[in-house]
Structure 1
């Protein structure tokens, strides 16, 4: 895992605030061009294709949570500013977590950068954060960045921490990006899609447009993500998280079964998140959402012409700089995907 951790450590340091991912896309492109794959940039999307592009499709999101300057010394949670809320209806996990995470940011360091070039502009500190009931968004008060102009992204100052078999940082979504790059390094010859705007509910549009542009229909798309659990102890219950469905509908049963069988063949423990949530909801007064994934929206929007399943890394302390996962789970995901996507010529 040495090469993977070196890559992840570098990627975590690069800002990629949702809605303003251009600078990160350039970093990502430089990484991918080290390998024998064809790299193409589209609006909201970077695509890397190997020698067997139709053999399998993988997707990961490049954006992370952060802030945007929206007025004089005024900062809002970037995913939920008015310009992004059109894609959100209250059913996403991110929105349901808003009240939970509202008070977690006190004292955290942040850094501002130019929207396109990614040039460093300065650092500050979060004094407090709270939910504005009128704007229905998290509002932040910062010390040290009062000179910023509206539209400037502000990322959480983040560094990867490694200890006792765990890694922690703002892992969602950068760990999925690192896993996909590692798979390409190991010889993945299919198609890898890196999408923007997932935290604002937009990534599925960029992916859908790519499939439509190239008249591609497939049932072999695997979307990588993290999956939140309440405590570190919950991470020990499984290596990876699978899903039969999300709030938008059913995933491809054949590919989901294939992934489960591969888990059993390789000795990888798994849990189905939709089953876990349904069991929890039997004991809850207010039911949890199954969540709306990029894949579910793609299936729905394409009337089933694009299908597949998800593979998720179990984590705790979701959507914070202390989001934590197990290295053994990362290793299991890489092993599963490597085994599942071996070239036909291998």
Structure 2
């Protein structure tokens, strides 16, 4: 696993704020072209093809949360600025967390970068963060960025921490990108998609546009991501997270049962997140969202002509720079993917 963690460490250092993913895409493109893979770059999606592109379709979003300069010494949460809000309609669990975010950001180090070249523009520290009810966004006070122009993205300064059996960083969703790259090293020869602006609810449009561009239909689209839990005991009991559905659609794909069988054969602990959430709602007598996924939106928009399932890493500290999962979860997801796509080549 040393090589996997090398890939992850490298990717984490490259900023990829929602709406300003281009430098990250370029880095991933170079990494995969070094493996002599065919890489195509379309609006909002980087597409990678192995020697047998129809043997698998794996997707992961490449953007991460961050800030954006919106005026004179004014900074807002990038995913929720007006130009990104078209698909944020209040029914996702991440949106409901917005009001609880502000305390998490104080004293966090952040770095500004040029959105096209990725050039480093300086280091700052978040002094304060508060929710502006009028704009329905978090407004940040950042020390050291008075020189920045509107539109400049600002990423959290991130590094990978591995302590005992826990792995921490701003994992959502750079860890899934690293898993896919590692899978190509292990011999995966199918297709992979890296999408932009998932945190602003827009990535599914870019992915769907690609499928329509080439008239591709599949019922085996596999979307990798992280999935939030509250306490470390939750993720210690759980290796991977599956779904029967989300708020937008039911997942009807042969992949779901294939993954379930692999879990049973390999003693991998799993549960279905939608069932878990329904159970909590039943116990507490509350109503809430089953969650909103990229895949669910695609299934809904295509009336089921594109289908698939999700495979997620359970984490705590969701949407922070200290999001945490377990080494066992990472190992489990790689075991599942290798079994699913028959890749057992040693890393070279």
The TM-score, its normalising length taken from structure 1, stands at 0.97
Deviation per residue, 1:260-315 (Å, 9 max, x gap): 11111122110110011001112335533111100001111111111000000000
Tell me the secondary structure at the aligned position of residue 192 of structure 1: strand
Matching residue of 1:225: 225
CA contact (8 A) 1:223 1:295 kept: yes
Give, in whole Å, the separation in 2 of the partners of 1:102 and 1:338.
40
Give, in whole Å, the separation in 2 of the partners of 1:36 and 1:186.
14
Matching residue of 2:115: 115
CA contact (8 A) 1:85 1:200 kept: yes
Give, in whole Å, the separation in 2 of the partners of 1:198 and 1:312.
15
Matching residue of 1:80: 80
Matching residue of 1:53: 53
Matching residue of 2:342: 342
Give, in whole Å, the separation in 2 of the partners of 1:80 and 1:147.
23
CA contact (8 A) 1:21 1:196 kept: yes
CA contact (8 A) 2:68 2:77 kept: yes
Give, in whole Å, the separation in 2 of the partners of 1:169 and 1:33.
26
Give, in whole Å, the separation in 2 of the partners of 1:186 and 1:35.
11
**CA RMSD after TM alignment:** 1.0
TM-aligned CA deviation for residue 102 of structure 1: 1.8
Structure 1: runs of 5+ lacking an equivalent: none
Structure 2: runs of 5+ lacking an equivalent: 344-348
TM-aligned CA deviation for residue 254 of structure 1: 2.7
CA contact (8 A) 1:45 1:195 kept: yes
Matching residue of 2:346: none
Matching residue of 2:178: 178
Q: How does 1:231-270 map to 2 (within 5 A)?
A: 231-270=231-270
Q: How does 1:121-132 map to 2 (within 5 A)?
A: 121-132=121-132
Give, in whole Å, the separation in 2 of the partners of 1:191 and 1:213.
15
Matching residue of 1:157: 157
Q: How does 1:142-221 map to 2 (within 5 A)?
A: 142-221=142-221
Matching residue of 2:63: 63
Matching residue of 1:102: 102
Deviation per residue, 1:82-126 (Å, 9 max, x gap): 011111000112211111222111101000001111100001100
Tell me the secondary structure at the aligned position of residue 103 of structure 1: helix
Deviation per residue, 1:217-266 (Å, 9 max, x gap): 00011000000000111101211000000000100253211111111112
The TM-score, its normalising length taken from structure 2, stands at 0.97
Give, in whole Å, the separation in 2 of the partners of 1:88 and 1:168.
27
CA contact (8 A) 2:220 2:254 kept: no
Give, in whole Å, the separation in 1 of the partners of 2:222 and 2:294.
10
TM-aligned CA deviation for residue 36 of structure 1: 3.4
